[in-house]
Structure 1
Amino acid sequence: MAKNGLSGIEKKVAFSLASVFGLRMMGLFMIMPVFALYGQHLEGFSPLWVGIAIGAYGLTQACLQIPMGMLSDKYGRKPIILGGLVIFAIGSIVAAMSDHIYGVVLGRALQGMGAIAAAVLALAADLTRDEQRTKVMAIIGMCIGFSFALSLLAGPIVAQYAGLEGLFFLTAILAVLGMVIVQVLVPNPVSQAPKGDTVATPTKLKRMLMDPQLFRLDAGIFILHLVLTAVFVALPLDLVDAGLVKEKHWMLYFPAFVGAFFLMVPLIIIGVKRNNTKTMFQISLLIMMLSLAAMGIYADNLWVLSGAVVLFFTGFNYLEASLPSLIAKFCPMGDKGSAMGVYSTSQFLGAFCGGMLGGGAYQLVGASGVFYVALALMFVWLLLTIGMEKPVLLKSYTLEAEAKDRNHAQDMATQLSQLTGVAEAIVVIEEKAAYLKVDDQFDLREARAVLGSVS
């Protein structure tokens, strides 16, 4: 087994689970750039119902994200993941066979009920070593970003040739492909990673919500996905009004997303080199606000709208990539699963509210009104970042610790905290785990030696 990098099994786990996650997210995302344009034949079609249909998955995701993670603890990761993909496929078929918008909303809600994110991440943790877990999670995160970019390309092309019905059937096929990958490629875990690292603990959720730094991040991801969903209710219709026929929308979205990725890179590099994440975070918010203002003011100018889309995705990509790592840095040791549970719930709830708000605002005040409302919400988020603390650049480790009782656990924690590079250390008896936050001077071998000597 590789000592300094991912082992063969860990690479297989990372890319297979990333593929499952990506295929499912593509199924959710592909509808966003096309539904307002290709769903106009549906009975009951209106801008409000367009927004509800696009965001419906978010409500059921938000409600079931944490419970499904807990069920995976009880019944196993794979059965919950497979069951979630089955439900997702059924929802896709319901939406594909509907000739009225209410059936599509039902299908989208069923898609969201297949809430497998927590179970997939927990399975990734179960199958990887502590020191390599962050890399695996990063690969999965990158795949989610790639799937979103690909959906902006694939959605309009599939809808053009196969219609909305064909697009939903394709999402069902993607879900079945995900099931095959889980069964054939993903190994079966022989143990579970500590719950504190992976799955939300209900008793800790209130504490996560009351933490001022985590609250800022949870509110941020809520607003970010609210704005994203609201914008994609109005933007496709606005682009058509500005002269870009719906069959060519992919020619704008995909290059804009790719270009935005390269524009985002300097923000990341500067933030890391100067240890100034907060400033880059606020600059990204300002970039998104500028793009929304341009969309609202120049709603009939295709060139300005195209540039605004590039700016929008530049800010969005940076924030989407930064928020999970900030959650990990600010959350208390041993509570990452609970912190990420609240974060994911906020994200999906934001998508649902964005669909409702975007559809309602478009129906009342048009596309420009949607962009101005989104701009106001981004300004609220910018105000929230004023009290945001500068994150400390520490790594997190979770190690096996067989503590016999409370005194034994305290002895372990004391010895670990005295090691060079250890900023914090706790040992949780119930989880048989030691949680560490460390800097670059930390030597993992010393920590393992301590845990071995006091076992």
Structure 2
Amino acid sequence: MTAIPESAQQRAIASLAALYTLRMLGLFMVLPVLMLDGLTLKDATPQLLGLAMGVYGLTQALLQIPAGALSDRIGRKPVIVVGLLIFAAGSLIAAHADSVYGLIIGRALQGGGAIASAIMALVTDLTNEQSRMKAMAFIGASIGLSFSVALVLGPWLSSIGGLSLIFTLTGVLALGGIAVTLLLIPSPPKTHHRDSVAVLSEVRLQLANGSLWPLNIGVFVLHALMVAIFVAIPLQLTRLDLPAEQHSYLYLPVLLLAFALMVPLIIIAEKRRQMKNVVLIAATLILIALLLMTQAATLWQWAGLMLIYFLGFNLMEASLPSWLSKIAPAGAKGSAMGIYSSMQFLGAFAGGSIGGWALSYWGASSVFAIFAAAVLLWGLLMVATPPPRHLTSVRLALLQPLTQYQHRALLALSGVAELTELPEEQAVYLKVTASEFDQELAQAITHTTGESYGSQR
């Protein structure tokens, strides 16, 4: 792979983060207001509105892995541009919907714009090892920022123009994402990198990998709960005489404080290798918040419980993909992450559907109780799950297949835990302990001075 100038890498990172922000902002803005504003639509019920809130996750889950694999064949940018056009079309259909069924169709089409895997592959294509970790962190921060901004911006936009304005703006943001893709993001050379994109044959193997399923189930529950929370909570806040346009005043300080409290715990999880304990703490916080939400009766109680919930949510959202990256087999991280992302979006679909159904028949307290039970069961599963080894994925380019001597020599290197050679890709993938691994020595063994790739995400 031809070296990309540092300035071009920095521009690519900023552009990709902007692209992610534009898309996720549009998806998230509707969360705090759909259950309130959607009641004005023809045929609307809490159950159907819950389906409308989560149905984007179903189409996203179904298309996530195929879209990533397609980007390996025809290029990243075509997949991203087409995905954003589909997303924009869904947004405009939702903006002009006069019934809940039109809203459901629009949201389902939004999910059809499944571009996340293509974007993450583009990050790998456009950065070297030293810049890639910064790029992932920067994009992760942009997603978190867009979530926080969306929860504050959504109620304000709703007070001006309702759901129609939010979905119209979402469509405009998607078109802005196309402009960013075509005008600002460099076009990389065509590459194959199994740490960034799912490979269909490998996906089948990782579906049978039992060590990954506690994390896949975890992200399913986490995102089901995220959508279900916004099925139930906005209605509770309005019943306590907090107008919908003022919900932002509650969300903003809660989100900011939760983020600030999360940072030291994430540092402990990574630097002191306490990831399992931090994840269990997060699950406990979420469980406590949900159980107490069944009895909350004042705005101050809701503010405190939402703080506890978002602290736990943020911890899990940051920790689970990092854990998955550490335990995914060498050369299989892209496929493992593809399954993980699909389970995440399936969770969003389940959360909206189950949350709306429970709200319709048993009320808001049942939503919190059902998902408290799910979190408890998953937490018990995680207690029995071994903590992750803190390993890093490394890819070395090969000029020719490894000899038996080279294979043994690489495995004998200090810090090397796994090795997978892919002659058709002219690459070898390693799982290593970063503090012990000598990359220059590994390159000397493989007789290559080409680019090496690594990541701890």
Q: What band does the TM-score fall into relative to the shorter chain?
A: over 0.9
- Cα shift at 1:8: 1.9
Match of 1:214 in 2: 212
Gaps in structure 2 of 5+ consecutive residues = 451-457
Q: What is the aligned length?
A: 447
Letter in 1 for 2:92: I
Q: 1:293 to 1:89 in 2, by over 3 A?
A: same
- SS of residue matched to 2:424: coil
CA distance in 1, matches of 2:191, 2:240: 53
Counterpart pick for 2:344 among 327, 342, 347: 347
- Cα shift at 1:254: 1.7
Letter in 2 for 1:150: V
Query: Is 1:63 equivalent to 2:62 in the alignment?
Result: yes
Contact 2:329 2:418 (8 Å CA) reproduced: no
Q: 1:410 to 1:360 in 2, by over 3 A?
A: farther
Q: 1:64 to 1:453 in 2, by over 3 A?
A: closer
Letter in 1 for 2:260: F
CA distance in 1, matches of 2:448, 2:267: 41
- Cα shift at 1:409: 5.2
- Cα shift at 1:444: 2.2
- Cα shift at 1:445: 2.1
- Cα shift at 1:6: 9.3
Contact 2:287 2:372 (8 Å CA) reproduced: yes
- Cα shift at 1:410: 4.3
CA distance in 2, matches of 1:52, 1:125: 35
- SS of residue matched to 2:395: strand
CA deviation map 1:354-404 (0-9, x unaligned): 000010000011111111111111111111102211111222211211224
CA distance in 2, matches of 1:185, 1:454: 30
Contact 1:130 1:398 (8 Å CA) reproduced: no
CA distance in 2, matches of 1:220, 1:297: 25
Query: How much identity, in percent, do the aligned residues show?
Result: 44
Letter in 1 for 2:421: V
- Cα shift at 1:454: 10
The 5 Å alignment of 1:228-377 reads: 228-298=226-296, 300-377=297-374
Match of 1:205 in 2: 203
Counterpart pick for 1:424 among 411, 418, 432: 418
Q: CA RMSD in A?
A: 1.8
CA deviation map 1:412-438 (0-9, x unaligned): 332222333333333211121121222
CA distance in 1, matches of 2:270, 2:361: 43
Contact 2:283 2:379 (8 Å CA) reproduced: yes
- SS of residue matched to 2:429: strand
CA distance in 2, matches of 1:188, 1:156: 38
Match of 2:455 in 1: none
Contact 1:427 1:434 (8 Å CA) reproduced: yes
Higher mean alpha-carbon deviation, 199-208 vs 16-25, is at 199-208
CA distance in 2, matches of 1:415, 1:144: 41
Contact 1:6 1:132 (8 Å CA) reproduced: no
Gaps in structure 1 of 5+ consecutive residues = none
Contact 2:72 2:192 (8 Å CA) reproduced: no
Query: Is 1:445 equivalent to 2:440 in the alignment?
Result: yes
Letter in 2 for 1:12: R
Contact 1:398 1:433 (8 Å CA) reproduced: yes
Contact 1:77 1:120 (8 Å CA) reproduced: yes
Contact 1:89 1:176 (8 Å CA) reproduced: yes
CA distance in 2, matches of 1:410, 1:14: 39
- SS of residue matched to 2:176: helix
Q: Structure 1 length normalisation: TM-score?
A: 0.94
CA deviation map 1:205-258 (0-9, x unaligned): 233222222100000000000011111101000111122111100111121111
CA deviation map 1:321-373 (0-9, x unaligned): 11111111111000011101100000000000100001000001111111111
CA distance in 2, matches of 1:37, 1:77: 38
